[in-house]
Amino acid sequence: MRPTILRRLFRCVVSTAALGVLLATPVTATAARPATTAADTLHQVTGFGTNPGNLQMYAYTPAHVPAGAPLVVALHGCTQSANAYYANSGWPKFADTWGFDVVFPQTTSANNALSCFSWFDPAEDTRGRGEAASIVQMVEYAQRTYGSDGRRVYVTGLSAGGGMTANLLAAYPDVFAGGSVASGLPAQCATSQAAASGCQTGPPKLTPAQWGDKVRASYPGYAGPWPRVAIWQGTSDYTVYPANATALRDQWTDVWGIGQTPDGTSTLPGNTTRTVYNDASGNPAVETYSLAGMGHGLAVNPGTGTEQCGSTAAYFLNTICSTYHTGVFWGLDRGAPGGGDGLPAPSGLRVTGVTAGSASLSWSPVAGAASYVVHRDGAKVASPTGTSFTDSGLAAGASYRYTVAAVDSAGAVGATAPAVTATTTGGSTVRCFTASNYAQVTAGRAHTSGGYVYANGSGQNMGLYNVFVTHTLRESPAGYFVIADSGCQAGSSEKSP
């Protein structure tokens, strides 16, 4: 028995009472990519490496995906399996549609009594050790066997898998170009079993710089580039509390050196608010997705629509297809399969003007382009032949994300330009409210959980629920509040509830 097993048997991200056991029987097959089927099935891969973390590797490798395609690593939650994540998360749909391979690592009760990835154990979640090293060996196997593009490797996970995702991004920023943490924990929140439960209900009260230091210490001397990170969190999650999403936001915006002031917010289906934090070049580096009223789980939206995916099951909750929006954030949707291998991305994409109902874009011409394709929030909205476009019929005071790609005379779509965000004018007036935490809750701008106060909408942790702690909250759009203690630009300002 591995030395760490006895220490970990009775500790997990959630209690046995909070979770039911998901039974699964994964399909077993050879590691080689089939040459004759239109789409593969989930199959087990053995012999992928020395496997110091005692994990199992499963893969979904669509037959039509060429070498040089992206790779996604998807980590299940406690009591789940690779098969459960494959069946319910929606990743196979977009692997088929956009053209990439998916690796589903699996842990077992031999490692942890509830089959949780060990996000709280430095012997398992740090660079070159344990489960983290096993997962990277799976990535290396995919690069050797499937020809996966080492520049486009991404990792995502739910709950304990989300906590391991954050640790992998911190320990291996040279391996993963992006990550998505769903109902998970910030990197290195806990370094012992005793600290794990405390992180779930209320992570340590650290500054963004202190959270960022945990990432920087995970791979000393690394100077970038850093992974782009999406953070998904339900506001009614009482297993992994929303304060963890705030800590994750603080952690990764600090690593990027971009601060915690949003560059835009927008409303998505499923009572979802997306908040964008851009890098120095104006490209989204960190995005948070706050799902009002959602509990603990991965957001899915069953159906056949372009933006729909997955199926409902324990901890797969019908709200919005988080997999679709995560894939768009990473750029996996660019002219699949094998997108981006033809014409280069247009340079100079910028917002040239906005009104209350429109946004205008322009970009530099691409040699050989017969037309261009413009996407708004991942959905195609136009195919102009010129190098400018005005999108109309938009909502006032809302943020929209645009990408553009060139199309050649044969209809092949080239690489996608980095996204830009346009925010229309008008809409709700920005308002600021300075009051005690008690008064903010009484006025309906914040809520309490576990003795702490959280801003409605953003879910930011405001500290203890009492009259002695005071914060300024900025409201925009209506009903969405962020902490603005350092200054609040507003049409009006109030000093009381």
Q: How far apart are the first and last CA of the chain?
A: 59
Cβ(202)–Cβ(195) below 8 Å: no
pLDDT at position 362 over 80: yes
The least confident of 74-83, 287-296, 340-349 is 340-349
- More confident position, 269 or 34: 269
Q: Which strands make up the sheet holding 446-449, listed edge to edge? A: 446-449, 452-455, 461-464
Query: Binning pLDDT at 50, 70 and 90, where does residue 296 land?
Result: very high
CA distances for 3 relative to 9, 52, 54, 122, angstroms: 11, 12, 12, 13
Output b/e per residue, 435-472; b: 16+ Cβ within 10 A. bbbbbbbeeebbbebeebbbbbbbbbbbbebeeeeebb
Question: In this structure, what DSSP letter does residue 309 have?
Answer: B
Q: What is the pTM of this model?
A: 0.68
Cβ(102)–Cβ(43) below 8 Å: no
Dist. CA 86–CA 319, nearest whole Å: 18
Dist. CA 368–CA 407, nearest whole Å: 8
Q: How does pLDDT run across 132-155, given as a tens digit for each residue?
A: 999 999 999 999 999 999 999 999
Residue located via tokens 């929006």: 325
Please give the share of the chain, as a percent, with pLDDT higher than 70. Answer: 87
Cβ(24)–Cβ(127) below 8 Å: no
pLDDT at position 37 over 80: no
Dist. CA 341–CA 105, nearest whole Å: 29
Dist. CA 457–CA 275, nearest whole Å: 10
Instruction: Name the most confidently modeled range: 348-357, 401-410, 486-495.
Output: 348-357
DSSP characters over 405-452: EEE-TT--EEEEPPPEEEE-S-SSPPEEEEEEHHHHHHTTSEEEETTE
| Catalytic (active-site) positions | 159
pLDDT at position 486 over 80: no
- Domains annotated for the chain, with CATH where assigned, are 5-330 (3.40.50.1820), 350-423 (2.60.40.10), 431-494 (no CATH)
pLDDT at position 26 over 80: no
Calculate mean pLDDT across residues 416-431: 74
Q: How does pLDDT run across 107-136, given as a tens digit for each residue?
A: 999 999 999 999 999 999 999 999 999 999
Q: How does pLDDT run across 425-481, given as a tens digit for each residue?
A: 876 556 788 888 988 988 889 988 877 888 888 888 898 888 788 888 888 777 788
